[in-house]
Amino acid sequence: NFSRVTEFILLGLSDTRELQVLFFTFFFLAYAMVLLGNLLIIVTVRTDPKLSSPVYFLLCNLSFIDICCTSVISPRLLVDLLSQRKAIAFKGCIAQLFFLHFAGASEMFLLTVMAYDRYAAVCKPLHYTAIMSRQACWVLVSACWAGGFLHSIVQTLLTVQLPFCGPNKIDSYFCDVPPVIRLACTDIYVTEWLMASNSGLISLLCFLVLVTSYAFILVTIRGCLTEGHWKALSTCASHVMVVILFFVPCIFIYLRPFSTFPSDKHICVIYTVLSPAMNPLIYTLRNNEVKASMWRLWKR
């Protein structure tokens, strides 16, 4: 594609050495929390027969995606925080961009499926087992991964066809679409709008579907809150927290022209590090069944 750039320089979050040490400690603890928390959820769900319902099957897949998503960024970030020169090869940068959007888009679709699961459980309880059968769950999860792959391959192909022949400093701590395509030595007006319509619209549409499903749930259960409804509402409340942490920053970052706005690398920390780290806490601390299963696993 006529590119002369063989590597990119990541400017990171700060040039100050003291702040870099502070960031290293924070991101190391956050990454450890992501790995330990999500692995604990996966092991708990897989080993406890009482957690065989569709919501826990989807939660197990969400934990796996969270591990994949943060593992694309955090190990590299931790190494760069201890390095003087934060260089990444062109191919490595494109690979990071591809796998980040692959995991990120798959998580968006999976969160939407989880909202549909809660809608079916609350609004159509008599048909729930038929709607969310084991086979249907596998089909929905496979569709999430396939949708994430299609989204990511489009973003990657739009990026690699751009020529990079001059500046190679990325004003971020990882390779993402907005900071990378700003370095292209050509007019990116059409490309950035295609990318914004891809990433931004996917984020917005999934968010609107989520909001609509919760609106239907609230309308359905108003005035007749049984114990089962309270349980479903508790699960929905934790789901809403995850949705806000994940979708709002994504919509802000991707649903706009990339070249006319400055880099927002500090906002990216929310959905690349904080959201995967908070998911285990949100889903376990607000779910008595998961906590009870973890306690039984610990005693065994």
At residue 293, the pLDDT reads: 78
At residue 96, the pLDDT reads: 94
Question: For residue 110, is pLDDT > 90?
Answer: yes
Q: What is the tens place of the pLDDT at every residue in 162-199?
A: 888 878 888 888 998 888 888 888 888 888 888 888 88
Domain boundaries, the chain: 7-299
Question: For residue 153, is pLDDT > 70?
Answer: yes
At residue 51, the pLDDT reads: 80
Helices (H), the chain: 17-47, 54-81, 90-123, 128-131, 134-160, 177-181, 189-221, 227-254, 265-269, 275-285, 288-299
User: Please, are residues 97 and 22 in contact by the beta-carbon 8 Å criterion?
Assistant: no
Work out the pLDDT band at 286, boundaries 50, 70, 90.
low
At residue 150, the pLDDT reads: 94
At residue 94, the pLDDT reads: 93
What CA–CA distance (Å, rounded) separates 297 from 105? Answer: 32
Question: For residue 219, is pLDDT > 90?
Answer: no
At residue 67, the pLDDT reads: 93
pTM of the entire predicted model: 0.88
Question: For residue 37, is pLDDT > 80?
Answer: yes
At residue 139, the pLDDT reads: 95
- 19-23, 33-37, 63-67, 193-197: segment of lowest average pLDDT: 193-197
Question: For residue 229, is pLDDT > 60?
Answer: no
Q: What is the tens place of the pLDDT at every residue in 57-107?
A: 998 999 999 999 999 999 999 998 888 888 899 999 999 999 999 999 999
What CA–CA distance (Å, rounded) separates 90 from 7? Answer: 5
Q: Amino acid identity of 141?
A: V
Work out the pLDDT band at 228, boundaries 50, 70, 90.
low
Of the two residues 240 and 128, the one the predictor is more confident about is: 128
The CATH T-level fold of domain 7-299 is: Rhopdopsin 7-helix transmembrane proteins (1.20.1070)
At residue 64, the pLDDT reads: 93
User: What element of type H or E holds 170?
Assistant: strand 169-170
Phi-psi region of 45 (alpha: psi -120 to 50; beta: other; left: phi over 0): alpha
